[in-house]
Amino acid sequence: MSRQALPIDLSLYLVLDPDLCGGSAGMVATAQQAAASGVTVVQLRAPNWKKRQWLETATALKAALALLNVPLIINDHVDIALAIDADGVHVGQQDMPADEVRRLLGPNKIVGLSTNSLVQFNEAELMYQAGIIDYVGVGPVYPTGTKKDASPVLASDEVNGMMQNRCLPAVAIGGIQAGKVASLIAQGLNGVAVVSAICGKADVTVATHGLLAEIHAARGNT
Ligand code: TZP
Ligand code: MG
């Protein structure tokens, strides 16, 4: 059985961070404001949380984002995604394998996978063609202080190599701040994923609008 990938608008993908947002309530407020300002996807990521906090925060986020028609992706935890009927799950290379995630979620949810090398990207392309995943994260594309165990920064050549002859949608991540978006869009990335460029900013709306303006300008539709 081959499954058709679900369309997902990766243009501006917000990954929430509990420390930078100031805990659960801050994460929900940040997500709500960013989504109302044009963020196209939100991921809940909280590597150190217990399940109870995961469930409560995911429930609140889902209610807030559903009103704005912005999908909510859960990092790593398939059980939380199932419990709250989230839009999808994002996993890394050391997490539950993407085909297991797909099997558990069924065909109507989004599955995303992090890739940190051309080899992983090419494997992901095959998973996309097999209907297992819907998109990949590519990175880190710049040094980041947000993820302590981040892989080495990808060379621009390697990112360029990934963008050749591929079908799968790809979002860049890692160290992406205002002013660093245009070159990634020009390289062929479908969007940018950010944490600290939005989380913890004094004005989330201004930060979001600035990033969106760069994306649109780079695509030639200002
Ligand atoms: N995965 C790869 S880099 C990263 C994650 C979750 C953190 C990106 O954070 P920032 O603040 O946008 O550099
Ligand atoms: Mg993970």
d(CA 172, CA 191): 6
d(CA 43, CA 20): 14
Please give the C-alpha separations between residue 78 and each of 38, 54, 89, in angstroms, as whole numbers: 26, 11, 6
Q: How confident is the model at residue 153 (pLDDT cuts 50, 70, 90)?
A: very high
Q: Whose CA is nearest to atom 6 of ligand 1?
A: 147
Question: Any idea which residue has 């949608």 for tokens?
Answer: 169
Q: Answer yes or no: is the ipTM higher than 0.85.
A: yes
* DSSP secondary structure of 29-96: HHHHHHHHTT--EEEE--TT--HHHHHHHHHHHHHHHHHTT--EEEES-HHHHHHHT-SEEEE-TTSS
Average per-residue pLDDT for the chain = 96
- Report the pLDDT value the prediction gives residue 222, as an integer from 0 to 100: 64
The Cβ of residue 13 has, within 10 Å, a number of other Cβ atoms equal to 27
Ligand nearest to the CA of 76: 2
pTM above 0.95? yes
Residues 25-45 pLDDT 10s = 999 999 999 999 999 999 999
Closest of 147, 137, 140 to residue 174, by C-alpha: 140
Beta bridge partners of 16: 44
Structure tokens at 219: 């695509």
The three-state secondary structure class of 192 is strand
Whether residue 195 is annotated as binding a ligand: the answer is: yes
What's the CA-to-centroid distance between 219 and ligand 2, angstroms? Answer: 30
What's the CA-to-centroid distance between 135 and ligand 2, angstroms? Answer: 15
The three-state secondary structure class of 188 is coil
As for ligand 1, residues whose beta carbon falls within 6 Å of it are 15, 139-140, 144, 146-147, 150, 173-176, 194-197
Mean pLDDT of 152-176: 95
Q: Whose CA is nearest to atom 3 of ligand 1?
A: 174
Beta bridge partners of 14: 42, 194
* DSSP secondary structure of 97-164: -HHHHHHHH-TTSEEEEEE-SHHHHHHHHHHHHTTS-SEEEE--SS--SS-TTPPPPPPHHHHHHHHT
Question: Any idea which residue has 């930060």 for tokens?
Answer: 207
Residues 46-56 pLDDT 10s = 999 999 999 99
